[in-house]
Amino acid sequence: MKKTVRPVLALALIGALAACSGGAPKSYPFDGVHFNAKARAVNKKVTRSIFTVQVAQASRSFKGAREAGRYEATRYCIENYGTSDITWEIGPDSPGLVLADDTLTLKGKCEA
103 vs 12 pLDDT, higher one = 103
C-alpha to C-alpha distance for 55 and 104, rounded to whole angstroms? 5
- CA-based torsion, 12, 14, 20, 26: positive or negative: negative
State pTM to two decimals: 0.76
Q: Is the pLDDT of residue 20 over 70?
A: no
User: Among 15-19, 60-64, 77-81, 98-102, whose mean pLDDT is lowest?
Assistant: 15-19
DSSP 40-108: EEEETTTEEEEEEEEEETGGG-HHHHHHHHHHHHHHHHHHHHS---EEEEE-TT-TT---BTTEEEEEE
